[in-house]
Amino acid sequence: SVVSLKDKIPSGTKWTDIEMSLTDKEHKTIDISVSGRKPFTVNCQSMGLESNHSHKPIKAWWLLIAFGNAENNKIPSNGKKLSDFAVKVKRIIPSNGNTLFSHIDTLRKALKTTFNIPEDPIPHSAEGGEYETLFRINDKSFKEEYEKSIQDSKGVKCDHCGESYKAYDHSNLDDEGNYICHNCRSSRNDGAFTNYPDDD
């Protein structure tokens, strides 16, 4: 069962004491262990990464998932390395460095608040040109089925028209966690998605 983080993180816990495991192949929950103790399960809501309106995971949640699929929990901060990584994780994160930074900032704030650990959980290395989590996070959610998770055609439906699409595209996700296909975006003239450029 999903629990609250509030009473699960002992006072004095450091980020390096935290290990997260992605065991849910649909990536709706994360298992967390503190200092090697028995893991407990949390979801995007208990980690402060759920939209208050749509009750769906916000973009920063998928960034956390991407860290779990990144070698040594490191994600390039810009340039071609970031673009290549975004393709590798099926575009569940942006390929634009500035947009990525805004999601990193959201994720940092949410983690510091929910875990009650003031230190930066995801420092940036200027020398390496990458973000790295101080906590460990790994994807144990049926590695061979990773392609069949939320990014695959079975899990990606436009929340506006209901059509299923074969490719998840980060640029079609709005701030409420709703997935809007390119057709619906182009047919809308209210500018609701103008801040999600196609090369985002």
**In the chain, what are the domain boundaries?**
15-142
Q: Which residues pair with 132 in a beta bridge?
A: 74
H/E segment holding residue 22: strand 18-22
Rounded Cα–Cα distance for residues 189 and 169 (Å): 20
Q: Which position has the token pair 């004095």?
A: 12
Tell me the whole-structure pTM to 2 decimals.
0.74
pLDDT tens-place string over residues 39-85: 999 999 999 999 999 999 999 999 999 999 999 999 999 999 999 99
Residue 143's pLDDT is 52
Please tell me the number of Cα atoms within 13 Å of 101 on its side-chain side: 9
Two tokens, residue 57: 């995971």
CA–CA separation, 175 and 3 (whole Å): 25
Compute the residue count for the chain: 200
Angle between helix 59-68 and 97-115 (nearest 10): 90
Q: For residues 104 and 191, which has the higher predicted lDDT (pLDDT)?
A: 104
